[in-house]
Amino acid sequence: MDNFMKRTGSYYVYIVKCKGGTYYTGSTNDLENRIMLHNSGRGAKYLRGKAPVELVYTRGCRDFKNALRAERDIKKLSHKEKEEIVRIYTNKG
């Protein structure tokens, strides 16, 4: 039951833009800490050597399962499609 409780609450799917212009998609329940880990080189292996990263998209999810599903769906997109998501997101505000 404890694992279930830890998997509900505020989760986020996010996209960061890497130093070389590539995108990385992930999910977390602590967005600020995750970005800090990515920039320190202690986050995802893919991002090592690609820091600093810039947070360019984030979306809240109601639970862990929905965040993972959204992450998986975004990872299937092409670079151009991710650029479009980021463009729409940044022009929204």
Pick the more confident residue, 58 or 50.
58
| pLDDT score of 43 | 81
| 41: pLDDT strictly greater than 90 | no
**Residue 53 backbone dihedrals phi, psi, to 5 degrees:** -105, 155
- Domain limits, the chain: 2-92
The CA R_g of the chain, rounded to the nearest whole Å, is 13
Superfamily of domain 2-92, CATH level 4: GIY-YIG endonuclease (3.40.1440.10)
Global confidence as pTM: 0.86
Confidence of residue 49 (pLDDT cuts 50, 70, 90): confident
Average pLDDT, the chain: 89
